[in-house]
Amino acid sequence: MPQRPLRSIAKSEEITHGVSTLENPAILEKLEQSISREEEAMALKIPRCGRCSAACELMPLASVSGEDGPLKLTLLDLPVFACPKGHKAPVHGDFMLWLIHEIRAREGQIAAGREQGMIFKKHLCGGCGKDLAPKPKRRQVFPYELKYEDLAPFKLQIDMPLYKCTACGKEQIRSTKDLHGHVAQAVVGINDGAGFPHSG
Ligand SMILES: [Zn+2]
Ligand SMILES: [Zn+2]
């Protein structure tokens, strides 16, 4: 393997990781576009609207949600670009990808059981190792605060069903995998719910 500078190796690892964790072509396309602009500064520029060319403004979006499988994600007061006609765009071409990474960076903080079995899967308590109840008892919102670059902070809510351990009674999500595997698609739901275009 030819010698490459450290920096470009680090970048290619980042890219490989991004591709392997993304199922959505729209986000992949964004990732590729962002890579082609890799030397461009991250400084925030308020662009013209991609659909009607009117001047955009930075404004908070009160609430937007996306769901996939057991996972529901909600963002409150998300800063977005909006034009006077109400067309909206994310604050950076990389934003949705960044969001997926930020959510996944927090998934380990949520108490979880573990999946067992290759074909006949069951879920065991992350505390005592005994069986979790087969059905969830309730849902819970796990709140976080996120901040993109120098913009105002906004709130993230990770909403998942909780399963009770049949032995020790501890409540938890079935597994971290149960959350992880749905993040990208739920973020696509947020993208669509916010009215963001699928590229650009
Ligand atoms: Zn517009
Ligand atoms: Zn237990």
Cα of 172 from ligand 2 centre, angstroms? 9
What is the whole-number distance in angstroms between the Cα of residue 49 and the centre of ligand 1?
Answer: 5
**Across 12-29, average pLDDT:** 49
pLDDT tens figures, 88-103: 999 999 999 999 999 9
> Which ligand number lies closest to the CA of residue 195?
1
- What is the reported pLDDT for 118? 87
Give residue 131 CA to ligand 2 midpoint distance, Å: 7
The predicted structure's pLDDT at residue 14: 42
CA of 166 to the centre of ligand 2 (A): 7
Ligand closest to CA 50: 1
Who's near 116: CB < 8 A, 6+ residues apart? 122, 123, 124
Rounded to the nearest whole angstrom, what is the distance from the C-alpha of residue 65 to the centroid of ligand 1? 22
CA atoms within 13 A on the CB side of 123: 22
- 24-36 pLDDT per residue, tens: 666 656 655 555 4
Q: Show Cβ contacts of residue 118 under 8 Å, excluding neighbours closer than 6 positions.
A: none
Give 166's contacts (C-beta < 8 A, 6+ positions apart).
130, 131, 132, 133
Question: What does the pLDDT average to over 45-70?
Answer: 95
Higher local confidence (pLDDT), 91 or 19: 91
According to the model, what pLDDT value does residue 31 have?
Answer: 59
**pTM across the whole model:** 0.77
CA of 168 to the centre of ligand 2 (A): 4
Q: What's the pLDDT score for residue 16?
A: 40
62 or 40, which is more confident = 62
| Ligand closest to the CA atom of residue 165 | 2
